[in-house]
Amino acid sequence: MNINWYPGHMKKTKESIKKNLTLVDIIYELLDGRIPLSSKNPDIDSIIGNKPKITIFNKSDLSSEEGNRKWKNYFKKSGFPIVFMDLMNNRGLNELIKLSYEITEEKRKNLQKKGIKNKPIRVMVLGIPNVGKSTLINTISGRKGTKTGNRPGVTKGNQWIKIKDNMELLDTPGILWPKFEDENTSLNLAFTGAIKDEVLDVQTLALKLIESLKRLYPQLLKERYEVDIENVSSIDILNSIAYKRGCILRGEEIDYEKVCNMVLDDFRKGRIGRVTLEMPEDLEG
């Protein structure tokens, strides 16, 4: 499956990020805990250079406990500042604020020596579409002023948001990169909704997702849909799910659009269970 999706506004977003870097003290880079490798834009590190950065491992309530534990150990050994967050339940927020002050402490002390006091910490929030940037800002600010949605491309322009603890956040639209190097990255981004469904073959995508779940989390797949997954193909599993869930048209034909969208929606909303599709050992590949 070849997916090339790089709208013109993403090129403008990249240019805007470079332009605004001098205005911020620290970067928040959000990753999707289910696909931490695929959801990391390889362009971001080269764009921000030596600017201090905190990696936010978001949607940790949807990723598996084993995956969270392995990634936490990996980042700890690597020495990269990271915070695991569950924005739906406000988990990890205090840790993020505390770490932000620790990282910027030296700069703030230098400013105080120059007579500049109480200058806000300015943060730029970066990440791919649909990774939770606007939700993070809404959670920190305690307001609903930033539009969010369970689809990519909702945030259209840069926004400064004043929040508590003398901080200001710069929200930016989600940014992908022009070319995905391998199919797994493309698929993982599509599974989680980082790429608009309108540009995809949804049936192929649902079958690929079933293949991944059958390989990595067979028990979750079996329990969610109450279907046999042993020694059967992905299309047979999809057909069984369709009959189980009543995704049938007149003449007993399967409504593939309905069943495929249902499976994708179940995965994205965590109904199938907590799933991590990429582990630190995958870095060896």
16 is in an annotated binding site: no
Count of CB atoms within 10 A of residue 75's CB? 18
Whole-prediction pTM: 0.85
270 is in an annotated binding site: no
Adjacent-strand bridge partners of 5: none
104 is in an annotated binding site: no
61 is in an annotated binding site: yes
Amino acid 158: pLDDT: 57
Amino acid 144: pLDDT: 60
Give the position of tokens 């600017």: 51
Q: Walk me through the domains of the chain, giving residue ranges and CATH numbers.
A: 8-171 (3.40.50.300), 201-280 (1.10.1580.10)
- Give pLDDT tens digits for 12-58: 777 778 888 888 999 999 999 999 999 998 888 888 889 999 999 99
115 is in an annotated binding site: no
Residue, of 170 and 94, whose pLDDT is higher: 94
- Give pLDDT tens digits for 138-152: 888 776 644 444 444
Count of CB atoms within 10 A of residue 118's CB? 8
DSSP string, 2-33: ------HHHHHHHHHHHHHGGG-SEEEEEEET
Amino acid 148: pLDDT: 41
Q: How confident is the model at residue 160 (pLDDT cuts 50, 70, 90)?
A: confident
58 is in an annotated binding site: yes
- Give pLDDT tens digits for 58-77: 999 999 999 999 999 999 89
Adjacent-strand bridge partners of 55: 29, 82
Sequence-distant (6+) residues with CB within 8 A of 134 are: 146, 147, 148, 154, 155, 171
Mean pLDDT score of the chain: 85
- Give pLDDT tens digits for 173-219: 666 655 566 788 889 999 999 887 766 789 999 999 999 999 999 99
Report the C-alpha gap between 64 and 277 in whole angstroms: 9
Amino acid 176: pLDDT: 65
What does the pLDDT average to over 231-254? Answer: 95
130 is in an annotated binding site: yes
Give the position of tokens 């329990």: 223
Amino acid 8: pLDDT: 54
Is 84's pLDDT higher than 70? yes
Q: Of 158-162, 215-219, 280-284, which range is least confident?
A: 158-162
135 is in an annotated binding site: yes
94 is in an annotated binding site: no
12 is in an annotated binding site: no
Query: Helix and strand tally (H, E) in the chain?
Result: 11, 6
132 is in an annotated binding site: yes
